A = this chain, B = another copy of it.
């Protein structure tokens, strides 16, 4: 597939239709089955994510598979702390609803993946990030989302945990100080499949009308 002599692919209507289904059926998963994921499949997904776009071809993403039980438990504790602090921001019915939401599957998910940006990488020689240095992080985000979509196509679910202090995660995992946490991901087989986001189903936030987000100038 990576042969430079290969002809460019053609994408037909059947593929386009399936791709639409992939995009609209991708969910942020928090309810995982505990059965393991084949490490070769995980490696394959990471290798695909490595084909994400990156500013100046810098490939700044750094993938850390967290298998160590103590580290995983540490991450879970950091999530619990941040989640309790977040709960304190809400009042009344909204607080009660927040408390009932399941916002991470850190205990059940067989695969934990931390994704960092190496903000000091020399690769790319700085091209494209002089006025928008944040594009390094954005590159890592596209790697996360590549993995997310591919995972869905292989029947896996991904949940993005952002209710966590990124510096505390970096410290816990003992990675270099120049690595910036972009995402902490739970990966595993989902217990259920839905077309609507869980936050919509549970009454936190429904999708809103698309057209109001488009302006023609």
Which residues of A line the B interface, CB within 8 A? Answer: 1-4, 6, 8-9, 11, 15-26, 28, 43, 46-48, 50-53, 55-59, 61-68, 71, 82, 85-86, 89-90, 94, 98, 103, 123-132, 134-135, 137-138, 141-142, 145-146, 148-150, 152-155, 160, 162-166, 173, 175, 182-183, 193, 195-197, 199-200, 204-208, 210, 213-217
CB distance from A76 to the nearest CB of B (A): 15
**This chain's copy number in the assembly:** 2
Knowing A24-B51, A132-B164, the reply to whether A205 touches B123 (Cβ < 8 A) is yes
A65 adjacent to B155 (CB under 8 Å): no
List B contacts of A52 (CB < 8 A). 23, 145
List B contacts of A67 (CB < 8 A). 216-217
List B contacts of A150 (CB < 8 A). 19-20, 23
Knowing A98-B127, A164-B132, A217-B66, the reply to whether A22 touches B20 (Cβ < 8 A) is no
